[in-house]
Amino acid sequence: MSETAEIIYKCSAIYHPEDVIEPGLGVEFKHFDPEGNPIDPSFFDAVGVDEYHSNVGLNEAEMTTTTGPNDEVWNVPGVAMSPPHLVLSPMNYGDVWMQGVDMGITQLIPEYDLIIDGNISWYGTTKYYNKLTRKNDPINAPEWKWNGSIKWDPSSIAAFTLNYRHVNQFKWSDGIWVGTIGPYDIFDFHYNYRLTENLELSISALNFMDDRHKEIIGGAEMGRQVIMRMTSTF
C-alpha cells in the first residue's frame, strides 16, 4: 500500500460490521474497536444505507428538519425513497386571503424640465400552507419593493432618465427550482438624442452599478448591460 493510500485509510476510519456490532438479539453498537480503542458513535454520520446514528440507531432513516404551519422547526426522521419525491405542481389552494398596498407619486417641475416619479409596494401575503407537503409554499414575490426615477428633458432633441429599483430578499419555489432571490438594487440610465427629424439615437446603461443577481431561480445571473439603438420614423 502506498503512503498516500495509507493516509486515506487512516483518515476515513473504515470499520467492518463485525467490528462494531454486537451479535445476539437486537443490534447493539460496540463502543470499542478490535484494538480496544474507544469509538465515538457520533462519528458515524448519516451518510449511507444502514448507517449508525445516535438518534435513530442503525437505520436508513436520517434526521432532517421540516417546517410546521406556523414556521416552527420539527426534527423528524427522513424517508429514503426510490424514485425520488414527486413534484406537486400546480396545486389548487382553495379559498385564500391576499392583501397588499401599492402607492405611487409623480411630481412635475416644468421650470426645470424635470419629472420625478416614485412607487412603493407592500405585499402582506407571501406564503401559503401546503396540506400535502405540510410546508409553506412561497408566492415567488418579495414583501417589499420600491423604485424611483428622475427624467430631465431640457429640449426637444435630448432627454436623460435615471431609474432606481430595490427588491427585498424572498423565497422562490417552482417545481424543481427552489432557492432565495435578492435582495438587489438596480440603477439604470437612459439617454435619447434626436439626430434628425426622422432619426433618434438611444443609449441605455442597465444595472450600471453591476449588482449581479438572479431574478428567477434557474435563470441566468443578471449584470451590467449597455444597449445602443437607432430608431427611424417615417
Mean pLDDT of 197-218: 92
Query: What pLDDT shows up at residue 3?
Result: 43
Mean pLDDT of 182-193: 95
The three state secondary structure string of 32-73 is: ECCCCCECCHHHCCCCCCCEEECCCEEECCCEEEEECCCCCE
Mean pLDDT of 153-166: 92
The span from the CA of 87 to the CA of 230, in Å, is 46
Q: Is the pLDDT of residue 127 over 70?
A: yes
Per DSSP, the residues of 142-180 read -SEEEEEEEEE--SSSEEEEEEEEEE--EEEEETTEEEE
Assess contact for 224 and 208: CB atoms under 8 A. Answer: yes
Rg (CA), the chain: 30
What is the distance in angstroms between the CA of the first residue and the CA of the last residue of the chain?
82
Domains of the chain by residue range: 3-77, 100-232
Q: Is the pLDDT of residue 130 over 50?
A: yes
Mean pLDDT of 143-155: 94
Q: What is the pLDDT of residues 60-108, one digit of tens each?
A: 555 677 777 777 887 766 655 544 555 555 667 777 788 899 999 999 9
